Amino acid sequence: MTKKNQEYIDNIECMYTCNTCHSHLLSQKDIISRAFQGRDGPAYFVDQVLNIIMGAKEERMLMTGMHTVVDIFCMICQTKLGWKYLYAFEHNQKYKENKCIVERSKIAKEIMW
């Protein structure tokens, strides 16, 4: 397996990085909602996350029902950041498919000057 190259976020005013290694993860425009809950507290529901690797696929009972998910980890330091929804069993939860939950305690806001 070849190592994936790290991606960088350019030309934006605000981005979020890994708290541990400061790898670029997402831009503010990728945040869909700030009103989600992760395992360790408040979380962002986001469209996409860069520089991640995914864990094993599993079915997990969450607060909103059964979902097929994979945990997501920082590609550089392997910090667990949250999870990605692959499949929602309930019709009213389908909007979550292929989106991610990122724990707010695992990321840092970086403001570009």
Per-residue pLDDT tens over the stretch 38-81: 998 999 999 999 999 999 999 999 999 999 999 999 999 999 99
Asked, for residue 28, whether it belongs to a domain, the answer is: yes
Total-model pTM: 0.90
- 45: CATH: 2.170.150.20
Determine contact, residues 83/46, Cβ cutoff 8 Å.
no
Asked, for residue 82, whether it belongs to a domain, the answer is: yes
Asked, for residue 3, whether it belongs to a domain, the answer is: no
Asked, for residue 2, whether it belongs to a domain, the answer is: no
Average the pLDDT over 84-102 and give the result. Answer: 97
Q: What is the helix (H) or strand (E) element at residue 45, kind and residue range?
A: strand 41-46
Residue 13 has pLDDT above 80, yes or no: no
* Rounded CA separation 25/88 (Å): 24
| Residue-number span of the structural domain to which 81 is assigned | 14-111
Q: What is the predicted pLDDT for the residue at 35?
A: 94
Query: What b/e sequence results for 26-60 when a residue is b if at least 16 CB atoms lie within 10 Å of its CB, and e otherwise?
Result: bbeebeeeeebebeeeebbbbeebbbbeeeeeeee
Q: Using the 8-state DSSP alphabet, how is residue 22 labeled? A: -
Asked, for residue 9, whether it belongs to a domain, the answer is: no
Share of the chain above pLDDT 90, in %: 82
- Give me the number of domains the chain comprises: 1
Asked, for residue 107, whether it belongs to a domain, the answer is: yes
